[in-house]
Structure 1
Amino acid sequence: MTAPAVKSWCLALLSCSMLLSPAVTAYSADSDKGRRKVVHVLEDDTGAVIVQTAPGKVITHRGGTITLPCRYHHEPESVDPDRIRIKWTKVTDEFQFEDVFVALGRQQRTFGLYRGRVELEQAGPGDASIIIHNVTLQDYGRYECEVTNDMEDDTGFVNLDLEGVVFPYYPRLGRYKLNYHEAEDTCKQQDAILASHAQLHKAWRDGLDWCNAGWLEDGSVQYPISHPRDQCGRKDTPAGVRNYGYRHKEDERYDAFCFTSKLNGQVYFLKRFKKVNYAEAVKACQRDGAAVAKVGQLYAAWKFQLLDRCDAGWVDDGSVRYPIVNPRARCGGSEPGVRTSASLIKSSASMGSTASGRIQAAPKPSPHRLQFQTPHHSPGVFEDAVAQHY
C-alpha cells in the first residue's frame, strides 16, 4: 500500500530591520482603530499625586510597538520634576510584581527582558507613559504605573492585550499527559504561551469548540464548547467555557491551551521532488536557509498570513498538519482551521516542506471553529515540510 504523501512546513524569519512596526498609540477594546485614547486627569485639593491610566486595554501584536498610557497631576505645580519617581511593574500574580522600568528625574533604568525595549514617551509635563518596542508574547498582561512625589504616591493599571490565536495542544504521547509546568514548557517549545481565560473566552466567542480540558496560565483547567453534545458534558447544558477550577499543578494532568501572535517571519511550504521523513525535512529546511516550523508558527501563519494549503507537511513536534482558510470537501471538512492528519514516528515516516511566495490568496478567517483530525501512527510515511526562514 502506498504511504500518504507529506511534505514539510518551514519558517523564514525576516531581517531585524523589519521587526518593529510604526508606533502604536493606546486604544480601548471597543474603540475604532486609529483613534487615540484621551486620558482625563482629575484634580483634588489634598496636594496628593493623582494618576490616571487608560481604562480597558491597549492592543498590539508580537513584534509591534505599543504605548502604555499613564498621566499624573500634582499640587503644587512648582514641585521639582527631578523629585518625581515613575515606576512601572507587571502584575505576575495576585500579590506578585515584576519590575519593568523606573525613572527618578533624568535617571532611568529598565529590568530583565525589558532592557533595551522600554522608554518613557515624554510627551510633556505629567506624562508617565512608557513605550514598549518589539513586543513579545511574554509582555501580555496587566501593568501598574506608580508615580511618587516625596511621601505621596498613586497608582493606575493598564492591560496589554495581543492579537493572536488560541489552539489546543497535546503531545505525541497522547491526551491528558501534561501537568501545569509541562504544559507551560510545551507551549513555549511550540512558539506560544499558555493562554489566559480572557484569550480562551474570546476564542470561544469566535467559535472554538474543543472537548478536552486544558491548562490555562492561571493554573485553572477549562475547555470551550460551542456545540453542546453528550460526549462533552451533556447536550442539554448551555454552550460556554467549561471550568474545572484551579487544579494541582504537579499531580494532575490535562492538555494545554496555547496562545501565539503574529510572526516576525514567514511560514511556507517546501516541496521536494520526493517525499522526506522528519530528519530529511529538517535538513531540507536548513538547506533552504530556514527551520521546520513550530505548531504555534503554523497557527500564526494560518491566521495572519492567511496560509491555505491542502498538502500536509511536517512540523517541529513530529506531527503532520495543514492550514485551511477556504474550506473545501477534498481538504478535510467544511470549516476553516489547522488540520492534524498524522502523528508519526520521525525516523520511519516521510513528508515534505513549505517555501516563501507559495501562499494562496484567501479571505481573512472569520469567526470559526478549529477543526482537527485524530492523529494516527503509520510507519514508512513520507511527507513534505513546513519551513520558516532565518
Structure 2
Amino acid sequence: MEFPISSTVAAFLAPVVAVAIAIALHEVAWRVLQRLFRPTNAPVLSRVVRAGRTATRFALVFAALLASVPALPLPATAMEMLARAVGIGFIGALGWAVAGKVGAVFDAYLDRSGPNERGFEWRRRRTKLTVFRRLALLTVLGITAGFMLMTVPLVRTIGISLFASAGVAGIVLGIAARPTIANLIAGIQIALTQPIRIGDSVVVEGEWGNVDEITSTYVVVRIWDDRRLIVPLGYFLEKPFQNWTRDAPNILGSVMLYVDYSVPIPALRDQLRKVLDSTSLWDKRVWNLQVTDLKEHTMELRALVSAPDAGTAWDLRCLVREEMIRFLTEQYPGSLPRERLDLARPASGAAGERLASMESGVGANGQT
C-alpha cells in the first residue's frame, strides 16, 4: 500500500517542484539579463528587461503548471477543466508580458529626449510613438483575448460558425464597428501625416487650446481655462480647424487701437517699442504699428508683435493694450475717441430772440 501513496504524493508534488524551478530560472535569467543590459550601454533593452517582470514570472509559472498537470491523478473531467484554466492563465500572463515589453520599447524611445530638447522634433516623434503604442497594445490585447476565448469549446464552436457565415457576419460587424474602425484608421493617418501633434496650439469649434492627449479614438484638447474638449479623431481629417504651431511654435499677435485723428502716430510707435523692449514676452522678431483704417469718428491702428508661442503671445497682447491705453490717458487724453456735438446759436430772427430770453431767465441757482 505504500507504493501507490508515494506515487500519488509525488504526482501532486510535481507541479510544486516545477513551479519552484520556473521561479528560480526566471530569477537567474532576470539577474543575468539585468547585468548584461544596463541603462548606460543599452537603454532600450535594459528597459525592456525590467518591464513586465511580474508578468513574465507568472507566464513561466503557468507554463510549468501546464506541463505538469497531465501527471496529476485526477478524473478526466477535472483534468480537462484544470488544464483549460491553466491554459487561459498562461495565455493571459503571456499577453500581459508581451504588452509590457512592447510598451517599454515605445516608452524608451519617448524618453530619449531630455527636458531641454522637447521642441518640434520631440512633439512630432511623441505623436507618432503615442498613437502606434496604443495601436500595438490594442492589437496584443485583441490577440490575447481571442486566444483565451478560443480555449472555451462553446466560444470556439460559435467562432467556427461565424467563419462559416463570414459574409453576413462581416456585414454586421462592419456596420457595428464602423465608428471604431474609422477612428483607428484616422489615428494611423494622423500619426503619419500629423496635421496635429501633442502640444500643438489649435482652435477647434471656436475654442483655443493645446492638444493634451491623442488616444486611439479621440483627441483631448486642453482649453485655456483648463476645460477639456474631447474631439473624435475623424474630426481632424474631415473638418477644418486652426493649428497655430503646425510648422513652428512662434506666432504673431495683433492689438487693435481706436483713437482720435489728432493722435501723434510717431509718439505711439516709440512707446510701443519701449513697451516691447521692457518685457521678456517679446521674442524680438517682429514689431510694427500701422494705420489700418479710417472710420467716421476714429482712426484704427494695428500693433503687430511676435512671441515664442501662443500662450506668451496672449500675455504680450494684453500687456501692450494696457500700456498703450495708459500712455494715451496720461500723455494725450484728448486723443481718445470722443463724440463731438456743436450747438450753433442763431445769429438773428425770432429763434435767436427766444433763445436769448430763455438764457436770461435762468437764475444763479438754476431756477427760472
Larger radius of gyration: 2
Structure that is richer in helix per residue:
2
Structure that is richer in strand per residue:
1
TM-score, shorter chain, exceeding 0.5: no
TM bin, normalised by shorter chain, reads under 0.3
Q: Which has the higher contact order (CA 8 A, sep 6+)?
A: 1
| TM-score for both structures, normalised by structure 2 | 0.23
